[in-house]
Amino acid sequence: MNLNHTTNVMSFKRTLSIVGLSSSLVGFASAEVESSISVGYNNQYVYRGVDFGDDQAHLSLSASGNAGDLDWKVGLFHGSSSDATILGGAAGASLDETRIHAGASTGLSDCLSVNAGVIATSYNLLPSDRLEIFVGAKTSLSGIDLSATAYFNESDNYTGDTYYEITASKSTEVAENVTGTLAVSYGNWNKDPLGGTVADVDFVSVSGTLKMDLGDDVSASIGVTHISSDTAITDDETVVGTSLTLGF
């Protein structure tokens, strides 16, 4: 079986997954569950501080609701970016990534909630999928939203046991139907996520996003993020992105 045939089969399976989840979300929507579909573009794809390529186009589907004291959310993300040589692809190789996640959260008090879930990710340039379990907490202090999350790698074929991320963000209405958000995040891989010898890979990102409510459950966003790493595995990067979301 040649490489092109294998890639086509993988893409076909991912397409079936996206269509299947989309159909499920339509059914969820009729049961008073909030659902959405989003498409977007980033000039670069930087994931958890690591540059995975250029010119990323992406599609996301999600559904959320509640059951008793639990709020739940499920979703699917599919993205494609070019020049993914950092993952071992040839010059100009395209990276196709499919990520499925499911999680639940509950409030412990008026200002503190905890969450947990699972994330399954596959890449066309890597031989096996990655499975992660995550736990986190969120709170608010003086109008600033704070969150901390730990992700635990459950896949033997991937380096690194844990990834930690802490985020502080502030949102405010800057104009009618326009909300601005400033955020600062710190991330840490306990081992080199690319399989190298670097330990404690740290990065800091600063982002600014404008979200515009266009009416009829349609919104658009545009944002800029600057990522700075303390290691040589990824240069400092500035990412510009935009997206369009439809709720149903």
For the cut 80, the answer to whether the pLDDT of residue 3 exceeds it is no
Q: Taking residues 185-205, report their average pLDDT.
A: 84
* CATH number, domain with residue 41: 2.40.160.40
Whether the CB-CB separation of 137 and 113 falls below 8 Å is answered with yes
Collapsing DSSP to helix, strand or coil, 86 comes out as helix
User: What is residue 159's predicted lDDT score, i.e. its pLDDT?
Assistant: 62
- Please enumerate in sequence order all residues whose Cβ is within 8 A of that of 54, keeping only pairs 6 or more positions apart, or say none: 43, 44, 45, 81, 82, 83
Joined together, the tokens standing for residue 4 give 């092109």
Statement: residue 72 has pLDDT above 90: yes
Read off the pLDDT of residues 211-228 as tens digits, 9 standing for 90 and up: 999 999 999 999 999 999
Does residue 103 carry a pLDDT above 50? yes
Instruction: Give residue 93's pLDDT.
Output: 80
Range of the domain at 125: 3-247
Average pLDDT, whole number, for the chain? 85
Helix, strand, coil percentages, rounded to 5, for the chain? 10, 65, 25
Work out how many domains the chain is built from and give that number. Answer: 1
Q: What is the pLDDT of residue 118?
A: 97
Lowest mean pLDDT among 40-49, 78-87, 144-153: 78-87
